[in-house]
Amino acid sequence: MTRLHVFVSLSILSFAPLASAQDADLAKKLSNPIASLISVPFQFNYDSGYGPADGHKAVLNIQPVIPFELNDDWNVISRTIVPVTWQDDIAGDSGTQFGLGDTLQSFFFSPKEPAPGGIIWGAGPAILIPTATEPLLGGEKLGLGPTGVILKQDGPWTYGALANHIWSVAGDGGRSDISSTFLQPFISYTTQDAWTFALNTESTYDWESNQWSVPINFSVSKLVTFDKQPVSFQVGARYWADSPDSGPQGWGVRAGITFLFPK
């Protein structure tokens, strides 16, 4: 376990008594990717075993989620993922790179009220923006495609799936085209004292190379309130069930902090 994980774990335990019913409700909303709740997660991931040089990669994903009201019946939820990446020898003896990766911007149009049976859903466009600051940090392609999410919240349980598909539509002609499907089935359990235990995969299928990347993630998070500011701390681990020969292998780690801004 890294020093960061120890620090975050101790912080969670230290503030556990501050949980309230409101904290538990906010923690459950965080399990819903399209909840009407402004949140700003900072998610750190570390993986190793890339290619013949056993490369390493650390990524800080900055992931603001901002809902907008369209009318009395519909919301649109903006979800942005901006990766800040450090990596070393991920493509053989390729050296070290640090900077921004490509940004994924998604918009989900979602009914304000759940559908019959308590089903919550949203759908819209996903845009891959070539913001990478170095060639090995991104694909240098503009990508477009559909995205959607469907879930149900039943008592302390949340379960569902998020998916998208991205095709490259413009960019550097010398780089490989992009045709990639992302699948994220998920399930989580939130306790009355605002602990959340979550299991998901963040699987990607590359239709150009016909290869899967399948990390299985388990995480534990705790929501606490500092003065009037709710914050969620997260620690977790993942196992790469499948990946290309040049991809990560074995175990990886995850840690995160999310700032919430309820209305």
Residuewise pLDDT in 10s, the chain (263 residues): 455 444 444 544 444 444 567 888 999 999 999 999 999 999 999 999 998 999 999 999 999 999 999 999 999 999 999 999 999 999 889 999 999 999 999 999 999 999 999 999 999 999 999 999 999 999 999 999 999 999 999 999 999 999 999 999 999 999 999 999 999 999 999 999 999 999 999 999 999 999 999 999 999 999 999 988 999 999 999 999 999 989 999 999 999 999 999 87
Q: What are phi and psi of 27, to 5 degrees?
A: -60, -40
Instruction: Please name the residue ranges forming H helices in the chain.
Output: 3-15, 21-30
CA separation for the pair 170, 168 (Å, rounded): 6
51: left (phi over 0), alpha (psi -120 to 50) or beta: left
Give backbone dihedrals phi and psi of 21, rounded to 5 degrees, phi first.
-60, -35
Q: How far apart are CA 210 and CA 115, in angstroms?
A: 36
Query: Tokens for 55?
Result: 């490369």
Topology classification of domain 3-252: Outer membrane phospholipase (ompla); Chain C (2.40.230)
Q: Is the pTM of this model over 0.75?
A: yes
What CA–CA distance (Å, rounded) separates 46 from 23? 29
